């Protein structure tokens, strides 16, 4: 099969159904732009959530224990899977921190060591709220632990908001992608309908369905490539000039995998896949339905 024939017929589809082709390219462009914006924002939201989790601290206040028991407890705490670091703070160190924070007012207490020793624990950033809550419950059961402090509600609220954001973004991205798929599907269907007599003639001389489908699949893929390329360009412009001009702080947003071209290349591939999938489905369905009369 001639490659030039496939490309020529694929490009010819743009001339036969210009409005439909424009609609398909526009829908793919919008889908790619939305997916690109959501991907970059979601990536940064996830990174922010991970950074906040790195600052999550669990304070374990201890009763009066022997040095040996404190060492054993430290080893036990550090052995927990979700624990990244566990720093022991003696009563003397706790009082030093108290004096630094309260200044002259701390002199009212003299040299009395009224603050308990403790462990200051930082959890691994990949740990979820439920895992940290389980850790806190385990720590409370340890012999010699008087109190465990942890901002459980704050972490749960962070995870809830992130989950809602990702779910909403995924829904809109999938919805727009589905609309783009349907528009490509309809465009190829209109092109097939316009060429139904030619398709019948090709079948009469022995052309297979696969031979007839390829130009239409090329047409859909080209629509997807154009839409993906334009969409990736818009995403770059939005983050390079649009959003920073409106809100300069957004200029600090990082790109997925560190560079803009990874996301841009993925968006172009997404556009091609949308166009290919829509054209393949349409051509497979309607060419098979075209009967030789």
Return all residues near 92 (Cβ < 8 A) that are at least 6 apart. Answer: 113
pLDDT at 268: 92
pLDDT at 247: 67
pLDDT at 111: 47
Give the fold, CATH level 3, of 57-150: Alpha-Beta Plaits (3.30.70)
**Sequence ranges of the domains in the chain:** 3-51+157-289, 57-150
pLDDT at 58: 84
DSSP secondary structure code for residue 116 in this structure:
P
Contact 286, 189 (CB under 8 A): yes
pLDDT at 230: 93
pLDDT per residue as tens, the chain (293 positions): 466 766 676 666 666 667 777 777 888 888 888 888 888 888 877 777 777 766 677 888 888 878 788 888 888 888 888 888 888 888 777 666 656 655 554 454 444 445 788 888 888 877 777 888 888 888 888 888 888 887 767 777 777 877 887 788 788 878 877 877 787 777 777 777 777 777 777 777 777 777 777 887 888 888 889 989 999 999 888 887 777 667 666 666 777 777 788 888 999 998 898 888 888 887 777 776 665 55
Please tell me the total number of residues recorded for the chain in this structure.
Answer: 293
pLDDT at 293: 54
Start-to-end CA distance of the chain, whole Å, equals 26
* 184/181 Cα distance (integer angstroms): 5
CA 93 to chain centre: 42
Half-sphere exposure of 110 (CA within 13 A, CB side): 2
* 10/2 Cα distance (integer angstroms): 12
pLDDT at 109: 46
Tokens of 273: 């896949």
Tokens of 67: 């040095």
């Amino acid at each position: 099969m001639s490659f030039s024939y496939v490309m020529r017929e694929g490009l010819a589809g743009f001339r036969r159904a210009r409005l439909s082709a424009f609609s398909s390219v526009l829908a793919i462009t919008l889908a790619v732009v939305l997916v690109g914006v959501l991907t970059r924002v979601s990536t940064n939201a996830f990174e922010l959530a991970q950074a906040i989790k790195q600052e999550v601290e669990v304070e374990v206040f201890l009763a009066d224990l022997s040095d040996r028991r404190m060492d054993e407890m430290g080893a036990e705490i550090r052995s927990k899977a979700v624990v990244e670091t566990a720093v022991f703070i003696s009563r003397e160190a706790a009082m030093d921190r108290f004096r630094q924070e309260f200044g002259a007012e701390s002199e009212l207490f003299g040299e009395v060591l009224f603050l308990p020793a403790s462990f200051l624990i930082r959890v691994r950033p990949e740990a979820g709220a439920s895992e940290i809550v389980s850790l806190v419950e385990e720590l409370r059961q340890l012999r010699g632990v008087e109190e465990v402090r942890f901002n459980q509600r704050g972490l749960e609220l962070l995870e809830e908001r992130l989950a809602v954001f990702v779910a909403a973004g995924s829904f809109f991205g999938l919805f727009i992608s589905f609309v783009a798929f349907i528009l490509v599907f309809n465009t190829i269907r209109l092109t097939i309908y316009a060429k139904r007599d030619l398709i019948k003639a090709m079948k009469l001389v022995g052309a297979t369905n696969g031979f007839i489908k390829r130009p239409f699949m090329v047409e859909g893929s080209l629509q997807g490539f154009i839409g993906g390329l334009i969409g990736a360009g818009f995403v770059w412009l939005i983050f390079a000039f649009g959003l920073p001009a409106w809100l300069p702080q957004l200029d600090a947003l990082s790109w997925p995998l560190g560079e803009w071209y990874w996301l841009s290349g993925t968006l172009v591939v997404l556009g091609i896949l949308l166009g290919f999938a829509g054209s393949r489905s349409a051509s497979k369905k309607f060419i098979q339905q075209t009967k030789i009369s």
